Structure 1
Amino acid sequence: MFKGWQSLIERISFSVFSIILLGLSSLLAFGLMLGSVKDETYDIQMFHLANETIRATKTVEDPVKTEQERQRAASEVTPVYDFDEEAAQNSAAVVRSVFDYALDAKEEAAKDNDNEKESPPDTAGQIADLRKKLEGLEESGGGFRLSDELLGMLIRSGNDDLVKVRDSVSEIVSEIMEQPIRDTALADSRNETEGRIRSLAIPAGLMPAAVEIGRSSITVNERLDEQQTEARIEHAKTEVEPTRILQGQVIVQEGQIIDREVHRQLELAGLLNENTSLRPVLAIGLFTLLIFWFIYRHFRQLEQPVHVKKKWLAITLVIYFLTILAMKLLAATEIDFNMALAYVYPTALVPFLLRLLTDGRMAILLTVLTAATGGILLQEGYSPVANMEIVLYILFGGFAGHYLIQGDGRRSSILAASFGVSAANAVFITFYLLMTQSHFGLQEWSFFMIAALGSGLLSGALTIGLMPFFESVFGILSDLKLVELSNPNHPLLKRILTETPGTYHHSVMVANLSDAACEAIGANGLLARVGSYYHDIGKTRRPAFFIENQMAGTNPHDTLPPEKSRDIIIAHAADGAEILKKNGMPSELVDIARQHHGTTLLKYFHVKAGESGKNVDEAAYRYPGPKPQTKEIAVISIADSCEAAVRSMKEPTPEKIEQLVQSIIKDKMNDGQFSECDLSFRELKIVADVICTTLNGVFHNRIEYPK
């Protein structure tokens, strides 16, 4: 599948390829995520019957209900009043002053009359004098205005009556003013004052004046403290909790009439078609852009061949979409999503797959991005913020998987890492329960522990199950696949062992040498080992023509011309590639079989052909190649030559082995066999040292035991 597109993809630059792929992926991810956070809406008409029960998909504040509750709380606030404690004394003093002024006016008039020895003083003059005195009292804020008729009553009354009425009325006013009098009770208080005055034995000519003076002296002595009252009202309003329509709350039951209040709540919750909000669309759009921008920047900075970057980018995106689908599957298991189900999500799937399929450097970044995505998708309904509980859960599980998974890709290693992830999940869940819940039962805790175990095991099971898919679709030779191919029970390895036992043991030695050397220079040691097992499988077509498989000293080349022997020996590289390809083996192993001799010269038969005196074309005695294209193949070619040469050496010593290894590497360098791979001089020296050390351990001097 992947190979069918390979030629087209190879012609496109990485920038164009990544923009196209990430652009399409972002649109797909946007659509998948938007469906999980966009509010469900309904086409509902007012005063119609509801066709179904409708619940709120999010928690929203109801401003109308909240304001009603605040007004109710404000109406229940007791107003604050200020009582004027001096008002009673002041009012009584005013009453006394009015009568005293009348007495003074009469006394002054009497004095003037004695001095002038005239007829009794003019009443009008006394009234005018009294009014003038009362106006002064009124201007000071403590008096009131009386009609001339009432003033005349005071002037015409006797002094004894004025004194008696003054004392009685002032006492009544003082007693009534000692009680709180508000605006609403002023009329009642004045009526009470009038009633008590009228019950006194007051001359009829003085009664109207006494009543009016008493009534006018009664004033409001308890006034509303607007500032304090308003402060209490505002405090009462702030104490009111906002009324909310809760997520999951039933707004209308099936068959219920959609009245104005229900319609208002549906509109408020954003459940009407005409009120669809664009905020979730914009939010998910921005989130998607961030996700794929991070992925793009990572691969732009990745130091790998372009074809590898393209392949790894495609793998990363496929894994990301697999996680989205897994999340949506969990979220869709129930109509009313139970958050506990989110803990079954395979937290370590991303790091497991990326560590086994790529160099693993993308694993941490994609784990973080996946956790953020899970915070949006794995939650109960729509929420304006990510579910941080799930974000942290996926992060901790993913990090545990990243550091626990072994690079060898063995199923046992994946299973062990899965149990480790389960343990990490369980620790996080226990931590979260202890932090957020004061009480939780054993049954609840046990359920979460089962979910944590399931998450880890599901991560491992999905990894093992998905590896063949990635290997076939993307042409990936994973460590897991290499481990499978290294099994001695593999049919091709059994064929090598049974048909060419000498070649098999030679291949095992080459595998040990190349594995150790590749690990020392940072190359893929496992690939080199497995490739070495199969590199000489072409010899199974003509086993007897290769010296390691010849028994009883019989060499068929002794009876063949050099040209025929040349063809047989050189053919084993192409034959091996053909056999591996025919059996569906990975292309990397096919390349190792074809390239491990590069274009080296078959010296023995070239020299033998020259002994006949004929003009021999050197090119005819060279392997067709191509030359090694990778470090692993170059190391295998060195290990192959060194192992064969040392095996044929008589009495090998460390010095002889070192000289031989250096000579072989030098010959290959001078022959240009490493010109098409990126093997450096420093790495060649390391390879030589490792091969010498390993060969010295194998071909060391042995004690000669007595017969």
Structure 2
Amino acid sequence: MLQSLRNLLNRFSFAVLSAAVLVLAAVLAFAVMLGSVRDETYDIRLFQLANETIRAPKTVEDPVKTEEERERAASEITPVYDFDEEAAKNRSALVTSIFDFAIEAKGDPKPDDKEAVSNAPAKQLVILKDKLSHLGDKEASFSLDDDMLNGLIKADKKDLEAARDAVSAIVKRAMEQPVRENELAEAKAETERLIGKAPIPGSLADAAAAIGRESIIANDTPDEVKTEERISQAKASVEPTRILQGQVIVQEGQIIDREVYRQLELAGLLNEQSSSRPAAGLALFTGLIFWFIYRHFKRVEQPDRVKKKWLSIVLVIYFLVLIAMRLMAGLEKDFDMTIAYAFPTALVPLLVRLLADRKLALIMTVLVAVTGGLVLHEGYSSVINMEFALYMLFGGLAGYYLIQEDGRRSSILATSLGVSVVNGVYILFHMLMLSSQLEVHELAVYMAAALASGLLSGALTIGTMPFFESLFGILSDMRLVELSNPNHPLLKKILTETPGTYHHSVMVANLSDAACEAIGANGLLARVGSYYHDIGKTVRPAFFIENQMNGVNPHDSLPPEKSRDIIVAHASDGAAILKEHKMPEELVDIARQHHGTSLLKFFFVKAKETQPGVPEDSYRYPGPKPQTREIAVISIADSCEAAVRSMKAPTPEKIENLVWAIIRDKMNDGQFDECDLSFKELKQVGAVICTTLNGIFHNRIEYPE
């Protein structure tokens, strides 16, 4: 069934398949995570008893309370008053002018003009009224009746001058103090009282008191503009009143009055207030997650077959982890973050790194950390719990950087312990940054969770690796290490049945591993593939020269076409044996392709001696040519090791000439046309193989008998 599914997927290009699969995956992830962001609502009625304690799921502003606080702050602002410092001088001058007008109006009538003397008061009164009308102070002129004005006209000049000086001084002193509108009546009464005590003739007392009283005005008036500015500043300085996240709105058994109901409504906790905004936000979040995955795969330079496999691995791991998070979050209604800290933070980077690609492991570390912050959070924490997201991120990065390339179980165990240490360091940082008192038992619980997180990361990685390797046909570093064990049945078969081939394979493995490491290819794959590349020779061991111990070569008695068939068959026989034992496809390809379509020159030349017209293609391996850099390197190493071994008294110069001759021959024969091995890399491969062969076949001292 799995093979049928793989065949179906292989019919589509990666671009089409990845877009369709990622859209479907985003929809499924949205459905799984929806419960983590959907607000809980309650069926509540006014004036009923609360069945449970209800807390605010998020921080919201209370506009009613905020406005009340602003109005209270505004009411506490005292009005700004503007004191007129010139008012005392001006009002004193006004008093002086009134009395001076009276003195001027009296004048000096001629003594011989009796008629003029008898009519003087009437005229003087008219003159005085006229002068007063030009003062521009209507209040003073209208406040003095004719009796008071006649009193001023009839008074002696000295009395007028004395009254003038006294009233002017009293008014000036009164107006030098701030007088507000609500204090005006009191100020006028006080001025009138002081004038009554002044040495003013009785005939002028009423007029003087009236003039003094009407001269007092409000000189400390409200500044509406500045007052309004202060009120605006006071309102602006009031912080909005908020219902805080996690704040208790109503206790169990409490009556839900109008104020509590209003707060519940404001927090969106009523059934009829169900909002689609969290779902819309989650849709955007999920879209971002899978867009980043899509963009990463778009930049990956690998064959579509490899990218399809990696994408499948990433999605399966992501959903397994996501489902585990949701199950953990649902362990109890009010989620306890202590449980969350035991989550295996490094599981995803370890699995993706060992099963797929290092760069892919890094991006998945970040994306899973963000997802964990969204899914694994307390009921009243933020939308994304940043503390836990950082915990996941640091633990994941620790696993990413600590895991060794070989992927051995011992390495994974050491990595898991390192992850536990990093988790513990982060928890210490978090605890020390909190202002609350750090309890020893609380710290111990969190440290135990950190240790469990690291150990679970390693244990689950080791436990699930065989599942992924079987499901996706993956050849991981861990699997390669297992296959390199000399106790493996097939390696034992090579060793016991074809010891010469076994030694040759070990030598080729050393050469291939070193050469692949030099060009950035998978040296471990090349090493393990070299161990098994000639396993087909176990079918007819004696027909291969390295296994001929008695000096008898059966090919000497066989026609060249029969020898050809036996030699060529070892590639297909090896692939068949490996397939029969369900070995990884990569090793099967190495066994089938390590000779490519190269020519069996020895038997071709031998055949031409009896059949001059024999076609060259009939003495070539069936191929295919090497499809990967690792297989191409093994092909070179295989030919070079066999050729150098057959040399008599090899020297560095002979070895170098032979190696480069083999590489040129294979290149001219087109054996590297179907793999991405560059000329620069071929030079590096040749140099490494020469160095390694010189170390193996160096001259030795001849010891005396």
TM-score, length-normalised on structure 1? Answer: 0.80
Q: 1:147 to 1:571 in 2, by over 3 A?
A: same
DSSP-derived class of the 1:57 partner: coil
Shift of 1:7: 1.6
1:217-237 deviation line (CA, Å, top 9, x unaligned): 332232223344334333333
The 2-side partners of 1:664 and 1:297 are apart by 42
Aligned-residue Cα RMSD (Å) equals 4.8
Q: 1:524 to 1:190 in 2, by over 3 A?
A: same
The 2-side partners of 1:97 and 1:253 are apart by 77
Q: 1:477 to 1:653 in 2, by over 3 A?
A: same
Letter in 2 for 1:588: E
Aligned to 1:61: 61
The 2-side partners of 1:637 and 1:87 are apart by 112
**Do 2:110 and 2:117's aligned partners in 1 also have CA atoms closer than 8 Å?**
no
Letter in 1 for 2:510: N
Question: Which among 503, 506, 509 is matched to residue 505 of structure 1?
Answer: 503
**2:86 is aligned with 1:70:** no
Q: 1:536 to 1:145 in 2, by over 3 A?
A: same
The 2-side partners of 1:519 and 1:41 are apart by 60
Question: Which among 502, 525, 534 is matched to residue 527 of structure 1?
Answer: 525
Q: 1:220 to 1:265 in 2, by over 3 A?
A: same
Aligned to 1:356: 354
The 1-side partners of 2:697 and 2:562 are apart by 34
Q: 1:215 to 1:293 in 2, by over 3 A?
A: same
The 2-side partners of 1:678 and 1:224 are apart by 89
1:642-673 deviation line (CA, Å, top 9, x unaligned): 54555555655556655665666677667765
Shift of 1:246: 0.9
Aligned identity (percent) is 67
DSSP-derived class of the 2:221 partner: strand
The 2-side partners of 1:101 and 1:690 are apart by 125
**Do 1:3 and 1:474's aligned partners in 2 also have CA atoms closer than 8 Å?**
no
**2:211 is aligned with 1:241:** no
The 2-side partners of 1:690 and 1:306 are apart by 31
The 1-side partners of 2:648 and 2:117 are apart by 174
The 2-side partners of 1:253 and 1:44 are apart by 13
Shift of 1:527: 1.1
1:297-329 deviation line (CA, Å, top 9, x unaligned): 332233221212222233334444455556656
The 2-side partners of 1:467 and 1:452 are apart by 23
Shift of 1:473: 2.2
The 2-side partners of 1:89 and 1:386 are apart by 71
DSSP-derived class of the 1:223 partner: strand
Aligned to 1:631: 629
Q: 1:176 to 1:603 in 2, by over 3 A?
A: closer
Letter in 2 for 1:219: I
Q: Which 5+ residue runs of structure 1 have no aligned equivalent? A: none
**Do 2:533 and 2:590's aligned partners in 1 also have CA atoms closer than 8 Å?**
yes
Aligned to 1:6: 6
Q: 1:417 to 1:144 in 2, by over 3 A?
A: farther
**Do 2:109 and 2:117's aligned partners in 1 also have CA atoms closer than 8 Å?**
no
**Do 1:135 and 1:145's aligned partners in 2 also have CA atoms closer than 8 Å?**
no
DSSP-derived class of the 1:530 partner: helix
**Do 2:33 and 2:375's aligned partners in 1 also have CA atoms closer than 8 Å?**
yes
The 2-side partners of 1:85 and 1:523 are apart by 94
**Do 2:143 and 2:210's aligned partners in 1 also have CA atoms closer than 8 Å?**
no
Question: Which among 398, 403, 406 is matched to residue 404 of structure 2?
Answer: 406
TM-score, length-normalised on structure 2? Answer: 0.81
**Do 1:406 and 1:413's aligned partners in 2 also have CA atoms closer than 8 Å?**
yes
Spell out the pairing of 1:222-621 with structure 2 (5 A cutoff): 222-273=220-271, 275-276=273-274, 279-322=277-320, 324-325=322-323, 348-373=346-371, 376=374, 398-399=396-397, 401-421=399-419, 441=438, 443=440, 456-540=454-538, 572-598=570-596
Shift of 1:531: 1.7
Shift of 1:192: 5.4
Q: 1:161 to 1:668 in 2, by over 3 A?
A: closer
Q: Number of paired residues?
A: 704
For structure 1, which segment, 537-546 or 308-317, has the greater mean C-alpha deviation from structure 2 after superposition? Answer: 537-546
Shift of 1:401: 4.5
The 2-side partners of 1:623 and 1:553 are apart by 26
Q: 1:170 to 1:645 in 2, by over 3 A?
A: closer
**2:22 is aligned with 1:22:** yes
**Do 2:41 and 2:271's aligned partners in 1 also have CA atoms closer than 8 Å?**
yes
**Do 2:57 and 2:267's aligned partners in 1 also have CA atoms closer than 8 Å?**
yes
Letter in 2 for 1:65: K
Letter in 2 for 1:71: E
Letter in 2 for 1:6: R
The 2-side partners of 1:323 and 1:345 are apart by 10
Q: 1:90 to 1:646 in 2, by over 3 A?
A: closer
Shift of 1:46: 4.3
For structure 1, which segment, 155-164 or 610-619, has the greater mean C-alpha deviation from structure 2 after superposition? Answer: 610-619
The 2-side partners of 1:706 and 1:599 are apart by 48
The 1-side partners of 2:405 and 2:239 are apart by 56
**Do 2:477 and 2:524's aligned partners in 1 also have CA atoms closer than 8 Å?**
yes
The 2-side partners of 1:14 and 1:274 are apart by 46
Q: Which 5+ residue runs of structure 2 have no aligned equivalent? A: none
The 2-side partners of 1:685 and 1:92 are apart by 112
1:47-77 deviation line (CA, Å, top 9, x unaligned): 4444433222222222322222122122122
